[in-house]
Amino acid sequence: MVTVRRPRTPSTGPFTTARGLLPLIVVSVFLFALPIVMLIIGAFRNAPPGLPAQWSLDAFGRTYTDPDSYTTLGNSAMLSGGGTILATVVALLLAFLVSRTNTPLRRLVTVAMVLVVALPPLFYAISWGMLGNPAIGMLNTVWRDLTGSDGTLFNANSWAGLLLVAMVKGAAFSYLLLLGPFRAIDRSLEEAAQVSGAGRLRTLLGIDLVVLAPAITGVVILNFVIGLESFEVPLFLGTPAGIDVFSTQIYAYISDSTPADYGSASALSLLLVALVMLLVLVQYKVLGRRKYTTVSGKSYRTDVWDIGAWKWLGAAFIVAYLLLAILLPLLQLVLGSLQPFFGGAGVYSLGNYQALFNDPATVTALRTTLIVALVGGLIAMALALLIVYAIAHNESRWRRVLDLLTWLPWAVPGVVLSLGIAWTYVSIPGLRNLYGSIIVVMTGLVVAAIPIATRSVQPAIGQITRELEEASRVSGAPPMRMFFGIVLPLIMPSFLAGWFVVAIVISGNLAIPILLSSAQNPTVPLMVYELYTQGQTSRAAALFVVVLGALLIGLIVMGGLSALLRRRITGRPDPVAEAATVDPGNAPLPQPLERTEPEPVGSR
């Protein structure tokens, strides 16, 4: 009897077995799951972290019987829902104008949207807080000069200000997710509808939007989740107007109470986490098995519409969005930074910048932010690369556990995550001495950035064929040499782009350091918030302009390095290596849970 053995596929590293995943799962549980567990435990304790306590339900009783908690719930739902509706409508209009019409200026929109997504929420919080200041904001002063009126055109510290900023930021995110599906719609479907007597408006509403329903649903849910998690904009614009949402109320329990009410903050955090996870589950259930397709292997057309004179109205809409999203906020921030005090029109100087660089606290904050952004970004990308590589090379069920763990920070708002990390480091004796140090701050920022980091390297890892690694192993190369000699060079452009994106996210994050930083190691966002609340608005603007300038320099350097690496990789004769080169602009955004490809028969 002859036994035929199947040839073994050469091992491509230690992550091919379930045992090989164990170290990564342990690290992921500590970083991503333990803070949530400690948050749950903290909600049932009747003492602050690190102090002896008894199990109690007092925190839930205080929080869930307080009428202010339900006012906060209503405010959060109104901000998230209203901002999501406005952002989705604006994103749909812009995606339609860019992908389906001959509107002038449409080529500027995508580049502008990438910039809006990349700008930290803190940029919009401080710039619109200045721009829409009812007494001395640029919008209101120009309005009074033009009309001779003493009234106020726009007050940013109101529901109108909150919804406007939520719309501006959310529209960019939604647009980038909807642009691809809009471009993939087959023009023949629209022509068939028009031949049947339907007008263009009816075709748009009855054909295009129906086909795009799954993508729109996913974007709406994601935007609503982001609205529930928002912290910087409600803190700057809502708190002065007495409008509290979940994140700002959680922070108020700790900062405005003496002693800090960690129990109530934890109890309210659990409600927010439960709502966010429920929405993520709803998104999965809604989109998990539905498939709307309009493009198949057959030929299809993506011609644009000539909308006649309406294209000028579309161009005006694009200009209006660019003014609200980029030009006016940036102009106000720069002009405000040059004023000796906010509102001192006509007198401009570099005094604020000189005062900042002569202040040791500012230099410390800049140095801390630079270290945290660069080192923390590198750690986040390295950990994300290991996780994505391990998931791609493992067939066991544990890879799903690892993938789920990396998504947990996305479902936990930043201020809640920082509260959970505070519980973790203060409650565990061996880690208690680290609380308030730069290590804890960096850990929190790395955890918060992991979902973006993993999605930055995932497309690049997915485009590397397994045959390259197997050929290297057959030739006798050990796993480490294979990884650093083949995998890493091919994904380096995407790795650098992801590192830069993660560094931007970390450098502009306020929700994590506001609870974890100490006076010895403040970050720039924390110092901007302190200066702003102390009335030193012009100096706060100057400090943020310095950060924006540093980000611009980093973008130029990163672009040059990425172009150089792409040129070196694509210059090799190996066509597989050339195919594995990934455009770094495609990575950073998280995608909806279901990604579908259209076919010209409508929906199933």
Task: Please tell me whether residues 397 and 428 are part of one structural domain.
Answer: yes
Length of the chain: 604
Task: Please tell me whether residues 270 and 388 are part of one structural domain.
Answer: no
What pLDDT score was predicted for residue 113?
Answer: 92
pLDDT category of residue 292 using cuts at 50, 70 and 90: very low
Task: Please tell me whether residues 281 and 421 are part of one structural domain.
Answer: no
Q: Which residue has the higher pLDDT, 331 or 477?
A: 331
What pLDDT score was predicted for residue 572?
Answer: 46
The top-scoring range by mean pLDDT among 45-54, 319-328, 476-485, 569-578 is 319-328
What pLDDT score was predicted for residue 82?
Answer: 94
pLDDT category of residue 341 using cuts at 50, 70 and 90: confident
Cβ(134)–Cβ(339) below 8 Å: no
* Sign of the Cα pseudo-torsion (314, 316, 320, 323, in order): positive
CATH number for 76:
1.10.3720.10
Segment 502-522 mean pLDDT: 89
Structure tokens at 502: 């993660």
Q: What is the mean pLDDT of the chain?
A: 81
pLDDT for residue 147 is more than 50:
yes
pLDDT digits (tens, 9 = 90+) for 383-403: 999 898 888 877 778 888 888
Structure tokens at 341: 């005090």
pLDDT category of residue 198 using cuts at 50, 70 and 90: low
pLDDT digits (tens, 9 = 90+) for 538-551: 999 999 999 888 88
Q: Which residue has the higher pLDDT, 501 or 293?
A: 501
Which position has the token pair 């919008």? 139
Cβ(468)–Cβ(335) below 8 Å: no
Alpha helices in 571-604 (DSSP H): 575-579
428 within domain boundaries = yes
Task: Please tell me whether residues 179 and 228 are part of one structural domain.
Answer: yes
163 within domain boundaries = yes
Task: Please tell me whether residues 257 and 333 are part of one structural domain.
Answer: yes
Task: Please tell me whether residues 187 and 210 are part of one structural domain.
Answer: yes
pLDDT category of residue 582 using cuts at 50, 70 and 90: very low
240 within domain boundaries = yes
42 within domain boundaries = no
CA distance 541 to 330: 10
What pLDDT score was predicted for residue 377?
Answer: 92
pLDDT for residue 54 is more than 50:
yes
Cβ(222)–Cβ(80) below 8 Å: no
Neighbours of 487 (CB within 10 A): 21
- Give the contacts of 234 (CB within 8 A, at least 6 positions apart): 79, 162, 243, 244, 245, 247, 248
Task: Please tell me whether residues 75 and 29 are part of one structural domain.
Answer: no
604 within domain boundaries = no
pLDDT digits (tens, 9 = 90+) for 208-250: 677 777 778 888 888 898 898 899 999 999 999 999 999 999 9
pTM to 2 decimals? 0.81
pLDDT digits (tens, 9 = 90+) for 186-196: 666 666 666 66
Cis peptide before 573, with omega less than 30 degrees from 0?
Answer: no
75 within domain boundaries = yes
46 within domain boundaries = no
584 within domain boundaries = yes
pLDDT for residue 2 is more than 60:
no
Task: Please tell me whether residues 334 and 391 are part of one structural domain.
Answer: no
pLDDT for residue 571 is more than 70:
no
pLDDT for residue 528 is more than 60:
yes
335 lies in which domain range?
Answer: 57-296+308-339
CA distance 526 to 529: 5
Task: Please tell me whether residues 464 and 410 are part of one structural domain.
Answer: yes
pLDDT for residue 262 is more than 90:
no
Q: How many domains does the chain have?
A: 2
Task: Please tell me whether residues 287 and 404 are part of one structural domain.
Answer: no
Structure tokens at 88: 């989705």
First to last CA, the chain: 52
Segment 437-459 mean pLDDT: 89
Task: Please tell me whether residues 283 and 393 are part of one structural domain.
Answer: no
Task: Please tell me whether residues 268 and 372 are part of one structural domain.
Answer: no
